[in-house]
């Protein structure tokens, strides 16, 4: 069996802070759902964690309402009022006295003729001692009519901060039954009832209530329950308010209205401790109708309540890009983000406001030029369907307004060349959307964009813009070149799938409109984490991207091994990210973005050497020779096929291969046949090909030559070649059931 005692809010009236006094450790149990534990005895210290209700801790000491505790060998600080002492019955002395309360209380006196002390704040618990009038006590805390003193728990109404003569008046109960309450309120705990004719001693009368004592108990009864005339002769309240006359409150900040005195006790006849200057801030910890118990730093005293102004504070709000919101229910508007501040009026459901800052519960809003604070839960952001919106580009610095009027609130300012969605046009105004925010701007400041369909083989500035946007969103794995290559097609397909569009790989108007919209989804690879042992499509994408950035010289095989980890680590170092070799979400967001840096040193090659093979020239941009060959070939996409030409304006098949290898200082033979039979070493299977290898095909049957067409392998079942059938340089598939799988003879590897 355990006896528990609730540790109440500590109410000290000492002027100077009491030191933290060590005492014999006892245990306490957490009584709130979550008790915050900090490194030090104040809210300014870092939070160590929290303990849930029912957790038992070791209580070391208490000062100013803060307990120093130990839990699982770790020391911290928490609010004393969030716990209960736990005292094992077997540890009590034979006389059943209660373990002393934590040291550091306030000296006081018993004003009742006799006063029971209980084992806990409950009249049904054991009476451990009975005190007499004038006895000295140490008050540690008070709550709900109970006082915690050194000996246990007793009635706060039977105590006073000053020693006084006993002057109780005996009154007779006239009512048939008179209920006795713990506090002067019919909603407080009932201590019992008195029968008609019972005589009791009254300690004080205040308004409709009389504070009485009987049989060691102190409580409150209605004055109307006494015999007529008795109450008029009852003793007047003591000129010095007792402890019972100041009620504990949740601590709050207040400022002095003017210069006011601070007293040792709640009486102007007590010692003056000093004064507060006008505007000086203190904390109120208890009060009645006249006095406030105040604290500043470690000092505690009393001041007249009418000399203080309550400081109204609110939660801290964060500024946001201003947006329109609709009021969903009647909202009261306040001067500050606190419903205790001045109410300015109300907003009705359906009204529109401008939101400029938000917090967890409150929002700062503006309407008709006036600013106020309302509950965020009563607002809904104004959104519009942008599926039929037309993209436009600002042609000058453009102000965005809350309505179609230059006198309305300016929500934001757009720079020239910013892309927006035009939702509607009326006269000289356009309603636009950008980044989910809707507003109005001058129509003359916009140029509507008409999209041209882009697909494999397209080139130019429109493709460059497309690739950059795909790169910004994490879909593009290659280098921005302005040529619509296989990598661009793959990137477009990824975006189309994410946007629930037809995955054609063709950037039509619908695809571009979605891609350039502010609501375009980013690639899911940003939320992925890859490390050694990972495999699959995302690893292929990572390796491909690292190859194009120059950090990896190997092919993209989809297996995250040591070379990939080394390349990732090198990239992380270049970007100032902790070099772990693991491609976590932060790293992938960086790699698949337009901010990714190209490698400025040598690439990581398969054999662990720095750079490419021995017969290659060093890359001037840090890319491997294989990548320079691939990029050189891809840069020719769309150029015409002309027999016997090797660039730079037209190519035949072997001429394109010859030209690309020439860019790294390697001179190949000049025909498809000799390239297929003589250059490099033979690779029998498509599965064994590496990016940059020569691929050889038998496109003319029964001529005895199995290498009459050549190209350059790109990886992922794709190769680039100058096609006589297509009439230009194109990218084709060498996977699945494609023609070139059937026509494939072998590959040739020039770079080891």
- Cite the active site residues: 653, 709, 721
The DSSP line for 418-471 is -EEEEEEEETTEEEEEETTEEEEEEGGGEEE--PPPB-TT-BSHHHHHHHHHHH
Q: Which candidate, 320, 323, 290, places its Cα nearest to that of 308?
A: 290
Buried b / exposed e along 306-343 (16+ C-beta atoms within 10 A) = ebbeeebebeebeeeebbbbebeeebebbeebeeeeee
| Nearest CA-CA partner of 530 in 476, 464, 580 | 580
Structure tokens at 471: 């790169």
Instruction: Give the number of other CB atoms < 10 A from CB of residue 646.
Output: 17
Q: Provide the phi-psi class of 717: left if phi over 0, else alpha when psi is between -120 and 50, else beta.
A: left
Q: Pull the structure tokens for residue 680.
A: 């490099």
Q: Are 706 and 690 in contact, with CB atoms under 8 Å apart?
A: no
Scored b (16 or more CB within 10 A) or e, 428-460 reads ebbbbbbeebbbbbbbebbeebebeebebbbbe
Q: Supply 60's token pair.
A: 């070391």
Across-strand partners of 218? 213
Helices 537-549 and 625-634 cross at an angle (nearest 10°) of 90
Helix (H, G, I), strand (E, B) or coil at 577: coil
In sequence order, the 6+-apart residues with CB closer than 8 A to the CB of 421 are 386, 389, 390, 391, 392, 432, 433, 434, 517, 518
DSSP string, 180-197: EESSSSTTS-EEEEEETT
Tell me how many helices (H) and strands (E) the chain has: 10, 48
Who's near 397: CB < 8 A, 6+ residues apart? Answer: 413, 414, 415, 416
What are the distances in angstroms from CA 642 to CA 111, 649, 729? 115, 9, 10
């Amino acid at each position: 069996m355990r006896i528990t005692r609730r540790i109440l809010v500590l109410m000290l009236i000492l002027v100077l802070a009491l030191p933290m006094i060590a005492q014999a450790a006892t245990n306490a149990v957490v009584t709130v759902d979550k008790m915050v534990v900090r490194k030090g005895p104040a809210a300014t210290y870092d939070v160590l964690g929290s303990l849930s209700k029912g957790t038992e801790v070791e209580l070391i000491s208490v000062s100013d309402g803060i307990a120093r505790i130990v839990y699982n060998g770790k020391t911290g600080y928490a609010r004393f009022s969030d716990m209960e002492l736990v005292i094992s019955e077997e540890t009590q002395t034979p006389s059943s006295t209660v373990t002393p309360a934590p040291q550091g209380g306030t000296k006081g006196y018993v004003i009742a003729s006799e006063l029971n002390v209980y084992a806990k704040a409950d009249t049904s618990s054991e009476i451990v001692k009975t005190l007499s009038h004038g006895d000295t006590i140490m008050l540690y805390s008070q709550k709900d009519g109970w006082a915690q003193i050194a000996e246990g728990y007793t009635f706060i109404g039977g105590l006073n901060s000053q020693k006084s003569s006993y002057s109780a008046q005996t009154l007779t109960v006239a009512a048939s039954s008179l209920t006795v309450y713990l506090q002067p309120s019919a909603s407080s705990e009932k201590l019992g009832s008195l029968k008609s004719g019972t005589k009791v001693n009254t300690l004080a009368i205040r308004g409709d209530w009389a504070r009485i004592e009987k049989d060691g108990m102190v409580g409150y009864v209605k004055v109307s329950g006494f015999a007529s005339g008795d109450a008029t002769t009852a003793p007047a309240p003591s000129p010095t308010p007792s402890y019972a006359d100041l009620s504990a409150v949740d601590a709050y900040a207040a400022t002095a209205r003017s210069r006011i005195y601070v007293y040792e006790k709640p009486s102007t006849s007590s010692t003056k401790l000093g004064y507060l200057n006008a505007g000086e801030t203190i904390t109120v910890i208890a009060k009645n109708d006249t006095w406030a118990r105040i604290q500043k730093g470690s000092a505690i005293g009393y001041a007249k309540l009418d000399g203080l102004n309550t400081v109204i504070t609110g939660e801290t709000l964060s500024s946001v890009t201003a947006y329109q919101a609709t009021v969903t229910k009647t909202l009261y508007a306040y001067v500050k983000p606190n419903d205790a501040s001045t109410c300015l009026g109300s907003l009705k459901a359906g009204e529109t406001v401008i939101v400029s800052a938000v917090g967890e519960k409150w929002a700062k809003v503006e309407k008709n030029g006036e600013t106020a604070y309302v509950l965020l839960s009563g607002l809904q952001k104004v959104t519009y369907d942008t599926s039929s919106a037309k993209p436009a580009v600002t042609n000058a610095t453009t102000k965005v307004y809350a309505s179609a009027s230059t006198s309305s609130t300016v929500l934001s300012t757009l720079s020239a060349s910013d892309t927006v969605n035009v939702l509607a046009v009326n006269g000289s105004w356009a309603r636009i959307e950008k980044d989910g925010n809707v507003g109005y701007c001058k129509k003359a400041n916009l140029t509507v964009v008409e999209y041209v369909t882009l697909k494999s083989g397209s080139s130019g500035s429109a493709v460059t813009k497309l690739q950059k946007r795909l790169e910004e969103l994490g879909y593009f794995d290659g280098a921005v070149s302005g040529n619509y290559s296989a990598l661009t097609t793959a990137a477009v397909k990824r975006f189309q799938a994410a946007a629930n569009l037809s995955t054609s790989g063709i950037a039509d108007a619908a695809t571009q409109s979605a891609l350039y919209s502010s609501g375009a989804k980013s690639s899911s690879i940003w939320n992925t984490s890859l490390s050694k042992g990972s495999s699959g499509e995302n690893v292929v994408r990572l390796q491909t991207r690292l190859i194009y950035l120059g950090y990896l010289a190997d092919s993209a095989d989809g297996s995250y091994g040591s070379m990939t980890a080394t390349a990732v680590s090198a990239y992380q170092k270049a970007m100032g990210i902790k070099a772990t070799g693991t491609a976590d979400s932060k790293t992938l967001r960086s790699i698949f973005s337009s901010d990714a840096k190209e490698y400025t040193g040598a690439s990581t090659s398969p054999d662990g050497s720095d750079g490419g093979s021995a017969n290659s020239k060093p890359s001037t941009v840090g890319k491997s020779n294989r990548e320079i060959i691939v990029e050189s070939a891809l840069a020719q996409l769309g150029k015409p096929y002309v027999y016997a030409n090797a660039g730079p304006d037209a190519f035949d098949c072997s001429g394109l291969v010859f030209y690309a290898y020439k860019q790294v200082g390697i001179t190949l033979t000049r025909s498809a046949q000799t390239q297929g039979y003589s250059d490099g070493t033979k690779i029998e299977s498509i599965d064994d090909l590496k990016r940059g290898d020569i691929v050889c095909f038998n496109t003319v049957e029964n001529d005895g030559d199995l290498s009459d067409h050549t190209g350059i392998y790109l990886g992922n079942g794709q190769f680039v070649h100058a096609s006589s059938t297509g009439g230009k340089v194109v990218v084709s598939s060498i996977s699945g059931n494609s023609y070139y799988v059937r026509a494939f003879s072998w590959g040739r590897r020039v770079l080891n």
